[in-house]
Amino acid sequence: MSIVICLFYFIVATAAKNAIEDRNKLLERELKMMLGSDISLSDSEMKANEIIMDLKIKELDYAFHHPQTFNLSKHFFDYKDEVEDTELFKLLQQMPKGAVLHAHDTGLLSPDYVLELTYMKDLYVCFQKGQVQFLFSENIPKTPCAVKWQLLSDARLSSSNVEKFDADLRKLFTLVVSNPKEVYSDVNAAWRKFQQYFITTGPLLSYKPVWEQYFYDTLKAFREDNVMYIEIRSVLPELYDLDGNVYDSVETALIYKEVLDRFMEDYPDFYGAKLIYAPFRMVDTKTVKKYIDIAKEIKRLAPDFLAGFDLVGQEDIGAPTKDFLSELEEAKSELDFFFHAGETNWYGTSSDENLLDVIALDTKRIGHAFALIKHPVLLEEVKKRGIALEVNVVSNVVLKLVDDVRNHPLAAFLAQDLPVVLSSDDPGVWEATPLTHDFYVTFLGVASRHADLKMLKKLALNSLYYSTYPNKDKIVHEFEIRWTKFIDNIVKDKW
């Protein structure tokens, strides 16, 4: 009888051992597939990794046992300020982040910055029901106004409460509210407020002196957030000045180039910027042909500044990319494409299938690619063709594609080592940092508990590899120098 019992326990123990070994092998296979698994850490990096992972695990373990406290399962507006005080956030602020490859030019600086612009002289305002218009002018503007134009400085002084006056103005320059789930009940509600921001600020920011200063200060803000290089999308609106001059899209692009050259003289440690001309998609084929001609002219005049072409706007209500396939196919021999696609929750719709169109058009990168996870064939193509995915996690929360970042498709992209680059889209509109918030949310809320310094480094390097910066060896070499300094500071506790 004892022999039978012993044999039984031996079989059970052997089976348990086999199960444990099998489990460990399966986990090891998964970890080897994860983005960053090809990175080898130095001794110093391993020490820094212990510090970083200790901060991460402490936050995750506490949240796992107290899920009601986990900030990142809530709306971004509910925790964005709170997380800035955490040690992990402060550490990630100091981390070299490579490049930002998906950012829209007039949505990058904070509402406080935009509010400060309203103190400039010669700014007129028209308050009318449900809308506010701005315009710089030496005299009362002739542009129609349902009520009356007045100098904003006069309106502010005549208000009974300047602090309240400015607080009300500031609300025009941000999507942040105290009750986001009520105000932004669905995707369209969020997009309406989002688009209204650009409508309201358009005449304010397209005043040539403001346009130039805004771009200069944008480059400065991204540099201060430890970004080395940026590829910026712009609809290139007409600019204006007080002398009655109007500057077309091509001239606007060249003004950007002049500002960049000035910035690079002032801050030679920054590695520059390029432009992606990205006009609105809600147009007809005739207009798209005009867009393409503008892009070609910019490329002719500033070939080193223009990165390529895109179409922007809410995909669910905008014209699908397939409507312009002929025009875009004809242009792709002269222009590189960096298309938005799949920024939708719908499956099998035209907005979802924009992914098919942009891959067929040989896009170099895909903006958002939120719906890509539903397309196994396209996932294979993205990896095979090396098409980078410009993922903007915080943006996807604010614009109602995902409520809980733990359910973001980026988790699957990272698990499969897809060519991901992290970007921030329009961080100023939701009062985020240029890039740190997106790294923090991704590292803590989206990526595996096992994802560590290797993933962070690979995300930063990806942004350089998949950029259009002409000398990859040079910028990667500089990144490695900055990265080594960052690691040394962590190990020496100087961050």
Q: What is the DSSP string of 18-47?
A: HHHHHHHHHHHHHHHHSTTTT----HHHHH
Looking at the structure, do residues 129 and 220 belong to the same domain, yes or no?
Answer: no
The pLDDT value recorded for residue 8 is 63
* 105 plus 143 within the same structural domain: no
pLDDT tens digits, the chain, 495 residues: what are they? 577 676 666 666 676 678 888 888 888 888 898 999 999 999 999 999 999 999 999 999 988 888 888 888 899 999 999 999 999 999 999 999 999 999 999 999 999 999 999 999 999 999 987 789 999 999 999 888 878 999 999 999 999 899 999 999 999 999 999 999 999 999 999 999 999 999 999 999 999 999 999 999 999 999 999 999 999 999 999 999 999 999 999 999 999 999 999 999 999 999 999 999 999 999 999 999 999 999 999 999 999 999 999 999 999 998 899 999 999 999 999 999 999 999 999 999 999 999 999 999 999 999 999 999 999 999 999 999 999 999 999 999 999 999 999 999 999 999 999 999 999 999 999 999 999 999 999 999 999 999 999 999 999 999 999 999 999 999 999 999 999 999 999 999 855
Q: Is there a domain that residue 22 lies in?
A: no
For residues 248 and 265, state if they share a domain: yes
Phi, psi of 234 (to 5 degrees): -145, 145
User: What is the model's pLDDT at position 22?
Assistant: 86
pLDDT at position 493: 81
Boundary residue ending a domain (129, 153, 173): 173
- Indicate if 219 and 245 belong to the same structural domain: yes
Work out the mean pLDDT of the chain and round it to a whole number: 95
Roughly how many angstroms between the first and final C-alpha of the chain, as a whole number?
66
Asked if residue 151 is part of any domain, the answer here is: yes
Domain extent at residue 366: 79-109+208-488
Residue 27 forms part of a structural domain: no
**One domain, residues 213 and 289:** yes
Question: What pLDDT is recorded for position 33?
Answer: 87
| Angstrom distance (rounded) from CA 147 to CA 169 | 18
- Are 90 and 147 contained in the same domain? no
The C-alpha atoms of residue 342 and residue 396 are separated, in whole angstroms, by 12
Check 59, 343, 353, 390 and give the catalytic one.
Answer: 343
Domain count, the chain: 2
Say yes or no: 240 and 389 in one domain. yes
Say which DSSP state 299 is in.
H
265 and 345 in a common domain: yes
Residue 190 lies in a domain: no
CATH number at residue 274: 3.20.20.140
* Beta sheet of 99-104, edge-to-edge order: 99-104, 229-234, 273-277, 306-309
Shared domain check, 329 and 376: yes
Q: Which of 150, 173, 196 is the last residue of a domain?
A: 173
Collapsed DSSP state (helix, strand, coil) of residue 486: helix
343 catalytically annotated: yes
237 and 141 in a common domain: no
182 is catalytic: no
How many helices (DSSP H) and strands (DSSP E) are in the chain?
Answer: 20, 13
The answer to whether residue 467 is domain-embedded is yes
| pLDDT score of 4 | 67
Q: Among the options 368, 375, 408, 437, which is catalytic?
A: 368
8 A C-beta contact, residue 129 and residue 135: no
Residue 387 belongs to some domain of the structure: yes
pLDDT for res 444: 96
Q: Does residue 456 fall inside a structural domain?
A: yes
* 375 vs 348: CA distance, rounded Å: 10
Do 374 and 352 contact (CB within 8 A), yes or no? yes
| Same-domain pairing of 134 and 272 | no
